[in-house]
Amino acid sequence: MAHQAHAYHMVDPSPWPLTGAVAALLMTSGLAVWFHFHSTMLLLLGTILLLLTMFQWWRDIIREGTFQGHHTPPVQKSLRYGMILFITSEVLFFLGFFWAFYHSSLAPTPELGGFWPPTGITPLNPFEVPLLNTAVLLASGVTVTWAHHSIMERERKQAIQALTLTILLGFYFTLLQAMEYYEAPFTIADGVYGSTFFVATGFHGLHVIIGSTFLAICLLRQIRYHFTSEHHFGFEAAAWYWHFVDVVWLFLYISIYWWGS
- Residues near another protein (CB under 8 A): 1-2, 12-16, 18-19, 22-23, 25-26, 29-30, 32-33, 36-37, 42, 45-46, 48-49, 52-53, 56, 60, 63-64, 66-69, 154, 156-157, 160, 223-226
Of 173, 148, 133, whose CA–CA distance to 239 is shortest? 148
CB of 62 to another protein, least distance (A): 10
Closest CB 60 distance from another protein, rounded Å? 5
Query: Coil, strand, or helix at residue 261?
Result: coil
Kindly state the smallest distance separating residue 53's Cβ from another protein, in Å: 7
Transcribe 21-80 into DSSP letters: HHHHHHHHHHHHHHHHH---HHHHHHHHHHHHHHHHHHHHHHIIIIIS----HHHHHHHH
CA 18, CA 67: separation in Å to the nearest integer?
24
Closest separation in Å from C-beta 2 to another protein? 8
Sign of CA dihedral 240, 246, 249, 251: negative
Distance CA 66, CA 76 (A): 12
Identify which of residues 41 and 135 has a Cβ nearer to another protein in the complex: 41
Provide the minimum distance between the beta carbon of 11 and another protein in the complex, in angstroms, as a whole number.
8
State which residue, 163 or 237, has the beta carbon closest to another protein. Answer: 163
Name the nearest CA neighbour of 163 among 215, 225, 213, 211.
215
Q: Of 1 and 189, which CB lies nearer to another protein in the complex structure? A: 1
| Smaller CB separation from another protein, 35 or 115 | 35
Q: What is d(CA 60, CA 56) in angstroms, rounded to the nearest whole number?
A: 6
Q: Which residue's CB is nearer to another protein, number 26 or number 215? A: 26
| Nearer to another protein (CB atom), residue 140 or residue 150 | 150
Burial class (CB in 10 A: 0-12, 13-18, 19+), 169: buried
CB of 55 vs another protein, minimal distance in Å = 8
Report in angstroms how near the CB of residue 59 gets to another protein at its nearest.
8
**CB nearer another protein, residue 41 or residue 142:** 41
Give the Cα separation of 5 and 28 in Å (integer). Answer: 44
Cβ count near 180 (within 10 Å): 18
